[in-house]
Amino acid sequence: MKEFRLYAITGEEFHQGRDLIEVMEAAIVGGVDIFQLRDKNSSKKVVFEKAKRLKELAQKYSVPFIVNDHIDIALAVDADGIHLGQDDLPLQEARKIFGQNKIIGISTHEIAEAREAELNGADYIGVGPIFPTKSKVDVVDPVTTKYIEEVVKEITIPFVAIGGIKLHNVDQVLAAGATRICAISEIVGNEDITKTCQEFIKKIEARR
Where does 60-108 show beta strands of DSSP type E?
65-68, 81-84, 103-108
- Please state the closest distance from residue 56 (CB atom) to ligand 3NM, in A: 24
For residue 134, the surrounding DSSP H or E stretch is none
- The answer for residues whose C-beta is within 8 angstroms of residue 166's C-beta and 6 or more apart is 183, 186
Q: Does 81 bind ligand 3NM (CB under 6 A)?
A: no
Among positions 77, 91, 128, 160, the unique one binding ligand 3NM when judged by CB under 6 A: 128
Is residue 18 part of the annotated active site? The answer reads no
Among positions 122, 170, 183, 193, the unique one binding ligand 3NM when judged by CB under 6 A: 183
Evaluate whether 67 touches 39 at the Cβ level (below 8 Å): no
Among positions 67, 105, 126, 173, the unique one binding ligand 3NM when judged by CB under 6 A: 126
- Binding-site residues from annotation: 36-40, 68-69, 88, 107, 133-136, 164, 184-185
Is residue 107 part of the annotated active site? The answer reads yes
SS3 of residue 73 by DSSP: helix
Q: Does 105 bind ligand 3NM (CB under 6 A)?
A: no
Determine the residue with CB nearest ligand 3NM: 128
Say how many residues touch ligand 3NM, by CB under 6 A. Answer: 17
Q: What is the dihedral of CA 69, 72, 74, 75, to 10 degrees?
A: 150
Q: How far apart are CA 188 and CA 180, in angstroms?
A: 17
Is residue 62 part of the annotated active site? The answer reads no
Q: 102 vs 109, which CB is nearer to ligand 3NM?
A: 109
